[in-house]
Amino acid sequence: MPDVTVVGSLVIDFVFQVQRQPKPGETLTAEAFGIFLGGKGFNQAVAARRAGASVAMIGRLGDDVFAPLFEQALDREGIDRTGIRRSGDGTGVSSPIVDRGGQNTLIVAPRANLTLTAADVDAAAPLIESARVVVAQRETSPQSIRRTAELARHAGVTVVWNAAPAGPAEPEMFLLTDILVVNELEAEAFAGCRVDDELAIREAARRLQERGPRTVIVTLGERGAFVRSGTREQRLAAFSVEAVDATGAGDAFVGALAARLAEGAPLEDAARFANAAGALAVTTLGAEPSMPRRGEIDLLFRTSEPR
């Protein structure tokens, strides 16, 4: 029985490091290049596992040369992959472009991830119904995401929905979600208001909570995070680290949050722990390599004051 089950994407990342982001029509020469395993689902599963949870994952890979790389990595991490199937559409791919400040832009071709169906989720239902926390994003088909939340809600399992990337609203998912996690851009898109100062963040979180989730967390990058649960609001300061690559920081936050919640930690403690994990993730290039391990998170959490 897993502590955390992640239903989500598996994407191979071709990462380009550049001095700055390119302008429209401009060609830049990369300062460095790397190939990494990623996708929000994979990253969050790895993050939860490294944060101390037992983890299962449900998703789709292509029937290609990239699939064994993910299968081997999941086995290496000790993540149950019985819920992962192959499809003929090709494994998802992306190209993050990371500048010297650690900020990134991203182009993604989801491919096999979008072929995950509600029937696939039903076939792996025991992995959802036996978990303490279930995590989903928006990088697989809407039907698979909704079915995941339905099964989890029916079984009394906590649903953490990382509504990323932003896109068309899904009213049913907001109603089925216990804890909604979004970044500033996603908060703007779903709340229908700008998120450019403290008051605006609070208003966006309130609007999102009105759509169904009991808890809304807005991650704010180097400015930490904002949590609204019930009528209680809390601003979490960021931990001071040297940023190398922001890719995967949000995934580290979500995975670590799920792991701590599965342990029975109070929301405030789990969110602060997740905040530390997200900070550590920006100190390493690439998504999967940057997912921190429990000892690292605990050390930063215990010994560093948020700024």
Residues known to be catalytic: 251
Contact between 91 and 67 under an 8 Å Cβ cutoff? The reply is yes
Q: What is the DSSP string of 57-71?
A: EEEEEESSTTHHHHH
Strands (E) across 63-209 are located at 80-87, 92-98, 104-109, 133-136, 158-162, 179-183
Contact between 15 and 36 under an 8 Å Cβ cutoff? The reply is yes
Specify the long-range contacts of residues 231-235, CB closer than 8 Å, at least 24 apart: 233/202, 233/205, 234/268, 234/271, 235/198
Question: Residue type for 24, please?
Answer: P
Contact between 92 and 110 under an 8 Å Cβ cutoff? The reply is yes
CB neighbourhood size of 132 (10 A) = 20
Tokens (6 digits) for 116: 């995950």
For strands 179-183 and 158-162, give the pairing.
parallel
Eight-state DSSP code of residue 222: G
Contact between 87 and 66 under an 8 Å Cβ cutoff? The reply is no
Question: Residue type for 139, please?
Answer: E
